[in-house]
Structure 1
Amino acid sequence: MTASALTRPGERDRLTTKIAELDWRLIGLICVIAGVGAAMLYSIAGSSWSPWAINHLIRFGGLLVVMLGLAMVHPKWWFRAAYPMYGVLLILVLMIEFTPLGYEPAGAGAKNWLNLGFTRIQPAEFMKLGLVLALARWYHSHTAQEARWSWKLIFPVGMIGVPFILIAKQPDLGSAMILGLTGAVIMFLAGLSWRIIAAGIAAAIAIIPPFVMFGMHDYQRNRVLTFLNPEADPSGTGYNIIQSKIALGSGGLLGKGYGLGSQSQLEFLPERHTDFIFSTVSEEFGFLGSFTLIVCYVAVILIALRIASLAHSHFGRISAAGMTAFFALFVLINGAMVMGMAPVVGVPMPLLSYGGSSMMTVMIGFGLVLSTRVHRYAELPKGNSLF
């Protein structure tokens, strides 16, 4: 299908044309990763579809349909929804802090869910989507010089900073970290001056020690100190990281075999179906299996970035790249976490770990990326109007 065919009136809106323009490599890789997740959840449960594997597959099947449906949506609708979506999600985050509707699930350690009566949601997850769209909308309407350095940058900084502070205060450090880093990556991709980037990195390095000592809750501070020396408390705060390292190392080159991972099967490995599922992959399939899975993740990221680079509109480029950024950060932080290279902050491995909110966020994000691919020749108006 040529560019001219896609831009002829009537031709570009045909459903069959849009379906043909989907990137099926990306869709296939997403299905492969989710399928590996289902297989591992089946193994972890003792070769049983319940309680995790079947729910994982049902969720993925439903969200795959949603993702493909969103890919058919013209970017102008994402563009118009950007600011209103961000505003609604920010209100939901505020409601957790200032209304009795916010609550803390048992054992979660953070008040980060909202009970709306008819449903329960985790606004921090969806805030990542809202932030990406809002920042893409802002940068679309401003010049390259303003994106590089201008007093107007106070607006994107505020869009990142306000939800970051609110979510970190819940305290949900993992979601706040993903949110802040995603915003920083988007500002970098939009052309932020290297001097500002260097100053920001220096400021972050300087503020980390006092933040750890005085700005964190005790259990969060213990996680950081445990990351630095997990052997100091091997049966307490260091237990998770130590068991994860044992699972990673014991798999060797080819692994112990499917369903034969002692750390996961005997339940030595904590949160083996969510945060530490990658450790189970390494234990059962070894270095070769885990490396192959990482290659799949890298391929997804590269294909998505390629799609972002092909978009004609600045909004399409920034939004698709931003969605790819938070997916990549999920992979990077979880991978570092299970290997003991980062503190345990409750970040799942996307599409692999069990969990509905994370999977929904990722699949909606890829719906936008695919929409950018299908409508890559679309042009969007400049301007600062709300809708």
Structure 2
Amino acid sequence: MKPATKFIHAGAEPDPSTGAIMTPIYQTSTYVQEAPGKNKGYEYARSQNPTRKALEDALAVIENGKYGLAFSSGVAATDAVLKLLAPGDEVVTGNDLYGGTYRLFTKVFEKFGIRFKYVDMTDLAAIASAITPNTKLIWTETPTNPLMNITDIGAVTALAKQHQVLVCVDNTFASPYLQNPLDFGADIVMHSSTKYLGGHSDVIQGALVMNDTALRDQLYFIQKSCGAVPGPMDCFLVLRGIKTLHVRMQRHCENGEKVAGFLRQHPKVGKVYWCGFEDHPGYAVAKKQMRGFGGMMSFTLKDDSVETAMKVLSSTKIFSLAESLGGVESLINHPASMTHASIPREERIKNGLSDSLIRLSVGIEDLEDLVLDLEQAIG
């Protein structure tokens, strides 16, 4: 099945009672049973809900996996993966990491005796040297947030299998339209479904997809027992968003390429971080494992001062200054004070995330309007 058809029909079955083509919103907390223990597969909505099941089936299909699980946020999905571990276990992860993930690792799970090692995930030798007998998980983003670094998923998973280590890939920036980490050997794919999967800035949700049955059962137990599940309305919204993912991503990619090119040619712009440039260090790997380069990018100004960056951030008219990404509308963001504020400044600077870095989530508006907006804001 071709991607466009897959995204529209994934997880969709006509409602058996009415023939409704869209999965209904089953707004219920419990289900009547014919006798104790005798039910139609549903007992209590924390453990399962028909709307959520349809979404989880769709998530599996679009990521070329067997099993999908939906969570109340991307951080909740990440939290579930970390709960596979025990005190004394180690995680190898990237030094260019989403601030919310870093916060969860350092402020929550380190207290429970889990150790995290932060390395350059583009350097296979650095990853290998960080692995010990206690390493149980490699966690990576690709492309990374916000510096757009690329991890070679196939190479990392081959290394991990030598040591019997799980690999989880945060695929939020790429979306299933551009990249399917399970195809390259990853054990788990994580999404902040809030972003491209939902696509309309109207839902908070997370997702995990995997192939291994035993791993699915462990994660389902955590999902059910800890209770970070999405409501049926949120599941409906993401189901609806998935149906147009391919159309939206096509425009995100088209606009992203043009905006990145415009920024690179602008006399006041310093460096542009976008993995579609042929001289990007990860371009060859990105071209191998991705079907396009997306609409996420970051840039600095030649006048590399926070004051100048703040002026640009407050001057756009179409790009809205806001957290998040992946919606139909374009957003502009200051990682140092917004999405990555939880990372200590010395760590951010050491890893290349400057105080003046600006991140863009390029939406699907008219390209000319977006370019003109950036042009007047940068001056």
Per the normalisation by structure 2, the TM-score is: 0.25
Q: Which has the higher strand share?
A: 2
If asked which structure has higher relative contact order (CA below 8 Å, sep 6+), I would say: 1
Which has a greater percent of helix?
A: 1
Q: TM-score, normalised by structure 1?
A: 0.25
